[in-house]
Amino acid sequence: MPVRSNAPCLSAGLRLALLVSLCLAAWSAAGQTTPGAAGEPGGDDDVIVVGGDHYHPPYEFLDEDGRPAGYDVELTRAIAEVMGVEVRIELGPWSEMRRKLETGEIDALQGMSYSEARDASFDFAPPHAIVHQSIFARRGTPPVESLEALRGKEVIVQRGDIMQDLLIEQAVGAKLFTTDTHADALRALAAGQHDYALVANLPALYLSRELGLTNLVPVARPFSLRYGYAVKEGNADVLAQFSEGLAILKNTGRHQAIYDKWLGPLEQGEGLPWKRLGLIGAIASALLLLILGGIVVWNRMLKREVASRTEELQRQQQQLIQADKMSSLGVLVSGVAHEINNPSGLLLLNLPVLRDAYEDARPVLEAHYREHGDFPFGGLPYSRMRDEAPSMLDEMLEGTRRIKRIVGDLKDFARQGSRDLGERLDLDEVVQTAVRLVDNSIRQATDRFEAYYAGDLPAVRGNAQRIEQVVINLVLNACQALEGRDQGIRLTTRHLPDDGAVTLEVRDEGRGIDPTTLSRLTDPFFTTRRESGGTGLGLSVSAGIVREHDGDLAFASRPGEGATVTLTLPVAPADDDDASSQDER
């Protein structure tokens, strides 16, 4: 479909915005005031109202607390910040928000696909994304290659969406059924209603995974559309501000950072090749097994030696063993991690490109299949491979990510850590920072999270970042132990003056831990969550950090009664306070 460029109109809009800005600056310097239209700073109403879809993730949606979130929302707020304007973001049903733009109830839509027909009623800023439109079907449904192939078919589209406009405009002849959101369209299709759904590709992939709609697959990607800010035709002032703000964000790299945060993971996760990935995975697994085998054999030898000593010598020897083990493992990991990360990174970078190549070749393969029947493809019949290949590629990409995650955990486990343990820390502040960092994981795990801070705790000596890492690990483990949102987590800090220590207690109401498992929690590579991606290094790394700080990490639990983890750190000596005061003087 030909797309007409609107660059001349945008240039005129930018010139007009610059002229308005100069005039306002001159009036302000002269001490004058002037009434402004909606969206003009300094006018009677200087708030720009920006609308969007209330359920179109990851572009724009209302989060669990009913607040606007997503790529479009963060981009709008960034533009408002660099342009020094105030915006109010209003999300609702897409058809309703489009009507409000037409009637002037809102000033702009933050995400609207461009078409020539829409250009007659709206003005568009330069695009901030390219949206690929896909035709989704249930597994086993005959594939289609273009919009024309939908003639006579029952097709679900979002009400007021660009795909509804284009199907009507091009007189495709499909029987249209409209829904309020992409999610409603996908649910209806998954439930067996109608033949196909025509929706944006990334939101559909995101929603299919979130809603568990495993029987849906994209069967065609007919075209892509420019996606950006839209205003009612003639509203050049608002358009110019968003165009200029977007240009600033692109030039500073901030736009790319926002794009990568929200859309990058989905684009990378669209899949890819398998044979070479399988070979790399096998090599990496073999290397990791060698490392693990060597560690197990060496650890057993050390245990036999330590067993012949007295109780006091055994305690001291265990500390030496841990130090030696960390050093030896660091030597092993430093070489292996580099060799594994390089090919893994190359695969993660190139796999999306190869998947696009496969998708581009698929229409040709389908045409050959329809004309000549089944044929060998990768050693298997094509009729089988076309359904199996996407899931095979997804599994291999996940395998590569797991390799990278394991290597990262190994590096964390073997890292000696910063020797700078001289910071004066307030445990309450460290815990509050850690809680903020994992706030999203907490909200997803439970409706009952409580934190009680002692206040006025004496300072401890250490490294704030590494203690924060320990707290994050303890809180995440507590979240993973819960079996329902009604089970809670409670954090409590205390001062123990008789022991000269401060403590953090993390208690969860989860499934609990049996005595055998409890004694092995800090053993390297011991995990009860291996099937869900656990590597068994988190608590081992945390225990090592606590030992560096002359502290203690204690666990208490009974099956079915939750678990309590207590982190104890010694209070900084009094002479540290005197030295600190002398430095300040």
Q: What is the pLDDT of residues 284-327, one digit of tens each?
A: 888 888 888 888 888 888 777 767 666 656 555 554 555 455 55
Average pLDDT over residues 325-342: 64
Is residue 281 predicted with pLDDT exceeding 80? no
DSSP bridge pairs for 5 = none
Residue 491 or residue 439, greater confidence: 491
Residue 541 token pair: 């790394």
Residue 159 or residue 269, greater confidence: 159
Average pLDDT over residues 204-218: 88
Across the chain, what does the average pLDDT equal? 79
CA quadruple 115, 118, 119, 124: dihedral, nearest 10: -80
- Which pLDDT tens digit goes with each residue over 427-457? 999 898 888 878 888 999 999 999 999 988 9
7-129+228-267 and 130-223: same fold?
yes
Average pLDDT over residues 529-558: 72
**Res 324: pLDDT:** 53
pLDDT bracket for residue 9 (50, 70, 90): very low
- Which pLDDT tens digit goes with each residue over 390-408? 777 777 777 787 777 666 6
Q: How many CB atoms lie within 10 A of CB 155?
A: 24
Domain-wise residue ranges, the chain: 7-129+228-267, 130-223, 275-414, 423-579
What are the Cα distances from residue 36, in Å, to 45, 82, 256, 565? 7, 20, 33, 60
Q: What is the DSSP letter of 150?
A: G
Is residue 366 predicted with pLDDT exceeding 70? yes
Residue 25 or residue 189, greater confidence: 189
Fold observed for domain 130-223: D-Maltodextrin-Binding Protein; domain 2 (3.40.190)
DSSP bridge pairs for 179 = 158
Using DSSP's 3-state secondary structure scheme, residue 425 falls into: strand
Q: Which residues contact 111 (CB under 8 A, 6 or more apart)?
A: 52, 53, 56, 59, 60, 72, 129, 227, 228, 229
Q: Which residues contact 76 (CB under 8 A, 6 or more apart)?
A: 50, 87, 89, 110
Average pLDDT over residues 329-335: 61
Of 66-75, 299-308, 331-340, 453-462, which has the strongest mean pLDDT?
66-75
Average pLDDT over residues 538-560: 83
Is 306:321 a contact under the CB 8 Å cutoff?
yes
If one looks up domain 423-579 in CATH, what number appears?
3.30.565.10
**Res 278: pLDDT:** 58
Q: What is the DSSP letter of 479?
A: H
Is 329:540 a contact under the CB 8 Å cutoff?
no
Closest CA to 143 of 390, 491, 426, 413: 390
> CA-CA distance, 215 to 217, in Å (whole number)?
7
Residue 439 or residue 125, greater confidence: 125
Residue 537 or residue 89, greater confidence: 89
**Res 321: pLDDT:** 53
**Res 554: pLDDT:** 86
Task: Look up the CATH architecture of domain 7-129+228-267.
Answer: 3-Layer(aba) Sandwich (3.40)
